[in-house]
Amino acid sequence: MGRGLYIHIPICRSKCYYCDFASYPLNRFTERDLDLYVLAIEYELKHLLSQETRPVELTSVYVGGGTPPLIDTSRLVLIMEAVHKYFDLATGCELTVELNPLTCTPETLRGLAKAGFNRFSLGVQSFDDYTLMKLGRAHSAQEARAAIGLLKENFDNISFDLIYGVPDDDPARWKRDLETALEFDPDHLSLYSLQVEEDTPLAQLIKRGFCDPVDEGLQADQWDWACDRLYPTDYRHYEISNWAKPGKESRHNLGYWLYDPYYGVGAGASGFLDGQRYRNTSDPWEYTQIMRSSLKGRFPAAEFVERLTPEQMAAERIILALRTADGLNLEDIPGMSSAEFWRRYGEKLTYYREMGLVWRRRQRIGLTEAGMALSNRIFLMFMP
């Protein structure tokens, strides 16, 4: 049985203005806290495995955050040793680590190689210092360039994250950023529109009038421009926000969109197993405490567990698959036949197909690029 594994390291140097992920500044952790956190991850891995009745093989491991190398690569080595100790890894298992430009030093990269990572996801976000400042990023454009140079000298299979649609954005800035990224020839690109989440410093800045709200029209134009720019290149637009060279798609993230089960380990991590979604407490100290006690239940650190109804599972399966370029195989919808799918949604989908938003090939349907641009509206019809 193949599964993904996500491990969360909820630690950053400082908090970016737009961030609502579970992450805490490094200076709140003692060395002992970090050691105990690593041990807690090992306990959770062991516990999750003890709940299985059949052997499990991991097809991908993704260590994200946060900024994982901040806990020191010697601790990442211990975490990866624990993964190998408790789970079998499939041949060619994808092992991704998230990086921040400030953590890319020769010493860190040596440590990441020792930990066995074979894919590197760098949070560049922008090559423009003013934009980085507006986002509250702790690194400069020059530091991002230096980090990329170092990564490329040492590894292949490198992905960049870039953000568009920041407040007071300039279309020329986005074009320059994407052109600069392409000059570095990454294997994979994740292009995200900035989302203003409640209770973030950015939401406060906008509320108090210190910066303009995000311009959704501009965001749509910037996404369109990126699609047009990348269309004639080697990059395949394999998911709404993701482009990859052939064979360099993120196997881990594809697992999410293809509705494969995955473990979530660590404070704030989410998992999806046997029709249940769970999310661990986001407090790393509480998480560590729980893992050091006698563990009860399948998800002992979960602050949220939900068993999905058949309707929810069908809707999630449909929506997640439609995010991908390969679309949805109608025979893969849990609890819903292809005939039932067409009975429920056929009329609207035919209309969207006539508008050029949806394609159909035998038992498979998907969104065209024009459809992906309007995906949020199209997905509404599948909500239970």
Q: Are strands 158-164 and 88-99 parallel, antiparallel or unpaired?
A: unpaired
Sheet holding 364-367, edge to edge: 328-329, 364-367, 358-361
Q: Pick from 9, 12, 89, 244 the residue near ligand SF4 by CB under 6 A.
A: 12
My answer on whether omega of the bond before 366 falls inside 30° of 0, hence cis, is: no
Nearer to ligand SF4, 97 or 372 (CB): 97
From residue 273, alpha-carbon distances to 33, 52, 183, 333 in Å are 29, 11, 40, 17
Q: Which stretch binds ligand SF4 (CB under 6 A): 9-17, 34-42, 169-177, 301-309?
A: 9-17
Nearer to ligand SF4, 98 or 333 (CB): 98
Q: Which stretch binds ligand SF4 (CB under 6 A): 17-25, 40-48, 88-96, 147-155?
A: 17-25
Q: Pick from 7, 8, 45, 66 the residue near ligand SF4 by CB under 6 A.
A: 66
SS3 assignment, position 46: helix
Q: Which stretch binds ligand SF4 (CB under 6 A): 14-22, 79-87, 242-250, 364-372?
A: 14-22
Q: Pick from 5, 7, 9, 16 the residue near ligand SF4 by CB under 6 A.
A: 16
For the CB of residue 100, give the shortest distance to ligand SF4 in the complex, in Å: 6
268: left (phi over 0), alpha (psi -120 to 50) or beta: left
Q: Which string of x and - marks every residue 119-158 that binds ligand SF4 (by CB under 6 A)?
A: ----x-----------------------------------
Nearer to ligand SF4, 12 or 330 (CB): 12
Nearer to ligand SF4, 100 or 219 (CB): 100
Q: Which string of x and - marks every residue 325-364 that binds ligand SF4 (by CB under 6 A)?
A: ----------------------------------------
Cβ–Cβ under 8 Å, residues 169 and 130 = no
Alpha-carbon distance 45 to 80, whole Å? Answer: 11
Helices (H), ranges, the chain: 31-50, 73-86, 106-115, 129-135, 141-154, 171-183, 201-207, 216-230, 251-257, 284-292, 310-322, 338-354, 369-373, 375-379
Please tell me the count of residues contacting ligand SF4 according to CB under 6 A.
Answer: 11
For the CB of residue 198, give the shortest distance to ligand SF4 in the complex, in Å: 15
Q: Pick from 65, 101, 167, 264 the residue near ligand SF4 by CB under 6 A.
A: 65
Q: Which stretch binds ligand SF4 (CB under 6 A): 11-19, 110-118, 200-208, 233-241?
A: 11-19
Q: Pick from 100, 103, 250, 324 the residue near ligand SF4 by CB under 6 A.
A: 100
For the CB of residue 161, give the shortest distance to ligand SF4 in the complex, in Å: 9
- Check residue 336 and report its DSSP letter: -
Please report whether residue 23 would count as binding ligand SF4 according to CB under 6 A: yes
Alpha-carbon distance 208 to 228, whole Å? Answer: 36
SS3 assignment, position 328: strand
Alpha-carbon distance 247 to 187, whole Å? Answer: 9
Cβ–Cβ under 8 Å, residues 67 and 36 = no
> Among all residues, whose Cβ is closest to ligand SF4?
19
Select from 20, 39, 77 the least CA-distant residue to 284: 39
Kindly list the residues in this chain that would bind ligand SF4 in the complex (CB under 6 A): 12, 15-16, 19, 21, 23, 65-67, 100, 123
